[in-house]
Chains A and B, each alone.
Chain A
Amino acid sequence: MSKDKFDYFIKGERNKYEVIIGLEVHAQVSSKSKLFSGSATKFGAEPNSQVSLIDSAFPGMLPVINKECINQAIRTGLGLNAKINNNSVFDRKNYFYADLPQGYQISQYKNPIVGEGKVLLDMPYGSKEIGIERLHLEQDAGKSIHDMDPSSTYVDLNRSGIALMEIVSKPDLRSPEEVNAYIKKLRTIMRYLGTCDGNMQEGSLRADVNVSVRQLGDKKFGTRCEIKNVNSIKFMQMAIEYEAKRQVELLDEGKKIEQETRLFDTKKNETRSMRSKENAHDYRYFPDPDLLPLKIEQKLIDDLKKSLPELPDNKKERFMRDYGLNSYEANVLVSEKEISNYYEEVAKLSDKKLAATWMMGDLFAMLNDKGLNISKSPISAKNFAELVQSIKTGEISGRIAKEVFELMVESGDNPKKIIESKGMKQQSDPKELEKIINEILTKNKDKVDQYKSGKEKLFGFFVGQVMKKSGGKANPQLTNEILKKLLKG
């Protein structure tokens, strides 16, 4: 599947187009309480059970910044190799909606907390840098529930006031695959940092997707459309494909793209116009007079920087250097902090390369199958390392190892114990093997003659017989060697 050349273009009737994508990712900050109030932020609580007077905008209520949310935004900024602004401002974004109790959202407009940064993507055609324009903090809105009653709308304010980080990319993305890689990378970085759980099902990570197209070779960007609030990578990819094709068709027909906000209909798999530029909201942004400008001491930034965990890019480099992994393996094994931790534990106790192969093969397949996170793996890292070592030393063959693996999954037992109790140890004694092989050769004299007269395909037959006789435990390498030797004689 791996492509060594980028080739995502949309072919129109006459021209070939390049797709330009920029993302505004809304990531929910992991914090115990909301951005400007002490209310809890737990997902799935009873409607309106995590709402303070501030969240519901009672008269005379005032916002007070939650320092932990600021720290989380700074950590994320540092993880994105971005500039942290010592001075930033909270603004009010004014609009009316039933689930926006204040009648405005507190956000950051002209002076965000985090400035330009970058994220590195590993694409099959090489690594690619995606620019970050900015990261700012803002309040989430509540939730309007329209389908509970035919004539009324219900409002749940649990989400109202929860801290979001809006991470705005530069228009550097060029394909749905890159968007996939970008979102996953952002998610990985934030999960390493513990600043966002990245749980898309729970809405912790959503994105507005900006799409435009331009003829191959053009320097100027085309007019973009913004697809609002897409909440899964798959939908983002589908929306981009649909939207890019729609724009190309329009251009091919000699029509113009209108700048507008669109919605992605997940049922019909199409984007639909929500409002045109002319009807765009005038949010009347202005600095929130209830909050002083946010001043961040350099010392805080430096301290947070020092306390950052090892980030995926660095860890990947280290895995390649210290464990001799290739780029692909290292990428997969650092994609989640828990996976990398598991791998490091296994690698400490066993062959590093073989451990990587077995983790990415059988272990991941099993976890995937069972829908389990690696932290819930029925096989402990220590047991897994022992299994890898048993293969490495030749104690069991790869084939037997698969059986042992299955038994480990079922019982959670130590592999040594399983091998021992089931007598699965590999037959690696040359004398014993020679005895078995001789028996088989004697029994199949006719086939030996055929082999000797040139029917070399029969070699496989002999190996099979040896395996059958040894209950699969014969060391395959040794079996090959001895067989060849005896058949020659």
Chain B
Amino acid sequence: MSEVVNKNLSEIIELIKKKEIKSEELTNLYIDRANKSKKLNSYITTCFEYTTQKAKEFDKKPNFNSLLPGVPLAVKDLFCTNGFKTTAGSKMLENFVPKYESTVTENLWKEGAILLGKLNCDEYAMGSSNETSYFGNVINPIARDTVPGGSSGGSASALAADLTPATIGTDTGGSIRQPASFTGTVGLKPTYGLCSRWGIVAFASSLDQAGPMTKSVKDCSIMLEAMAGFDKKDSTSIDKKKENYSKNLKTNIKGIKIGIPKEYRVEKMPKEIDELWNKGKSILKDLGADIVDISLPHTKYALPTYYIVAPAEASSNLARYDGVKYGYRSSRGNDLIEMYENTRSEGFGDEVKRRILIGTYVLSSGYYDAYYLKAQKVRQLIKKDFDENFGKVDAILTPSTPSSAFKIGEKTDNPISMYLNDIFTVPVNLAGLPAISIPAGLDKKGYPLGLQLIGKTLDEQNILNVAYAFEKNCNFKNEIKNWWL
């Protein structure tokens, strides 16, 4: 039965519903595989005893009417989980055990899912390769020397390695879509406000958004349905009715207008990416979509804008980690100020410190107008670019990343080249729009590459449909050879 773990979430749900497999059996398969896959370093914390216990409880009194009946799931370690360590990949929270559950994970458990454990991620979700985690870097199952992307690198790695049937990540500038692209999986960043941020360790509040990471578009629709929903505990949550994304999934996309923004053809972009993009266009064209050339003129300002706005918010959001109330506290220091300095010097890693410094700088008096305020204005222009084009097109197709998975250590000494990895994903966060990354092909090394579909505000159903149709006609196959087992 070990091939069960290779299956998609929707297939596994069917097996459970048809009583062909019990939750406990399924759980044991994943636990067994996780125990054999420690090399990947996908997990920070596991809670297998708890999972088995809950699976047994499910099997005793199964409820097959929920979306995720008895399905074990591992989640990014940025979601607070009641009674289980939540580290955000940082020494600062190494031993932090919340007494509360994030709204998004709570929603999953309400739909019958069971927590397997907490997945590795870049420290406070700051990174594009999962190399900033205090708990060590994560290996991409695609190849032993490649990164899985970041910041939801542990999630992507675990998913691609069949350690969990589906997972969730958070996406502030591409942290779901980029690792999805690097691992040949599906990742969706919902409209800002569709999933509650309550109980998620904050990085940049106006950009952070939780979303599903799955092996198929259908799985993605199921997970999104389970996660999403209005939450009065999050003031930026959108008050709207829940949608049945999985039920409404369809493959007919005839007449849909797909925009191709010329600004996404960036300098030095590998030919393979360009070819992949063309392949995507022709698949959608064959399915009856209209391909429309569009322009998003402010795209080139997105990355610098992002690297002002996100660090600014982060510098403030991370002020609470001061050693006073919870988390790491340095034992050195003779007064409050020294305690702060030592705690934060010892508790945060380099990338987090870099962003706190940048953020503090851009908010400082005398620099605020030139950086933060200007960035906010540019952000509006970027949003306007999208708004204007969404009068003409229904969705926008772009590459997800400018390259396939890179080598471990390749970019760690060059933050700028690391930041450039987010070039296609960042504009979407700035505009608060939904976007999905779907695997579309392999490069010559055999590493997966993704395409990104960007949708209108709250138009998740539409991009899921286009992605669904695309997936059925793309014949992508991930080549993961289980080399680590």
Q: Which residues on A are within 8 Å of B, measured CB to CB? A: 53, 56-65, 92, 94, 96-98, 101-104, 153, 155, 282, 284-286, 288-292
Given A96-B319, A103-B319, A155-B324, A59 contacting B98 (CB threshold 8 A): yes
Give the contacting residue for A65; candidates B235, B340, B363; CB below 8 A: B235
With contacts A60-B199, A284-B360 taken as known, whether A96 is within 8 angstroms of B365 at the C-beta atoms is no
A290 CA / B237 CA spacing, docked (Å): 10
Our pick among B315, B324, B364, B368 for the contact of A98 (Cβ within 8 Å) is B324
The main secondary structure of chain B at its interface with chain A is loop
Please give the distance in Å from B189's CB to the nearest CB on chain A.
17
How far does the Cβ of A295 sit from chain B's closest Cβ, in whole Å?
12
Assuming the contacts A60-B102, A289-B205, asked whether A282 and B319 have C-beta atoms less than 8 A apart, the reply is no
Is B319's CB under 8 angstroms from A59's CB?
Answer: no
Bound Cα distance A155, B323 (Å): 13
Nearest CB in chain B to that of A90: its residue: B235
| Contact (Cβ within 8 A) B325 A56 | yes
Partner of A62 from B198, B318, B368 at Cβ < 8 Å: B198
Quick check: is B191 within 8 A (CB to CB) of the other chain?
A: no
Number of B interface residues in the complex (CB < 8 A): 42
A to B CB contacts below 8 Å, 24 in the list: A53-B100, A57-B325, A58-B326, A59-B93, A59-B96, A60-B80, A60-B98, A61-B199, A62-B235, A64-B233, A97-B336, A101-B325, A103-B322, A104-B316, A104-B319, A155-B324, A285-B363, A286-B368, A286-B372, A290-B202, A290-B205, A290-B235, A291-B235, A292-B236
Q: Main secondary structure on chain A at its contact with chain B?
A: loop
Check B313–A153 contact: CB distance below 8 A: no
Which residues of B have CB within 8 Å of A289?
A: 204-206, 236, 313
In the complex, chain A residues whose CB is within 8 Å of the CB of B96? 59
Q: Which of B357-383 contact A (CB under 8 A)?
A: 360, 363-365, 368, 372
Q: Give A151 Cβ to nearest chain B Cβ, in Å.
A: 11
Known contacts A284-B364, A292-B235, A292-B236: does B86 contact A59 (CB below 8 Å)? yes
Q: Which residues of B contact A291 (CB under 8 A)?
A: 235-236
Chain A residue at smallest Cβ distance from B327:
A59
* Contacts known (A57-B320, A58-B98, A58-B100); A64 close to B235, Cβ less than 8 A: yes
Q: Is the Cβ of B200 less than 8 Å from the Cβ of A60? A: yes
16 further interface pairs, Cβ-Cβ under 8 Å (given A65-B235, A289-B204):
A58-B98, A59-B201, A62-B235, A64-B232, A64-B235, A96-B340, A101-B325, A103-B319, A153-B336, A155-B324, A284-B315, A284-B360, A286-B363, A289-B313, A290-B202, A290-B205
User: Whole-angstrom distance between the alpha carbons of A71 and B396 in the complex?
Assistant: 44
| Contact mask for chain B residues 4-24; partner A; CB cutoff 8 A; 1 contact, 0 none | 000000000000000000000
* Distance of A53 Cα from B96 Cα, bound (Å): 14
In the complex, which residues of chain B have a beta carbon less than 8 angstroms from the beta carbon of A65? Answer: 235
Within the complex, the shortest CB–CB distance from A394 to chain B, in Å, comes to: 68
B275: Cβ under 8 A from any A Cβ: no
Option from A64, A155, A282, A292 in Cβ contact (under 8 Å) with B365: A282
Nearest residue (CB) in A for B336 is A98
List of B residues within 8 angstroms of A153 by Cβ: 336
Bound: A153/B325 CA distance, A: 13
The answer to whether A60 and B313 touch (CB under 8 A), given A102-B319, A103-B319, A103-B322, is: no
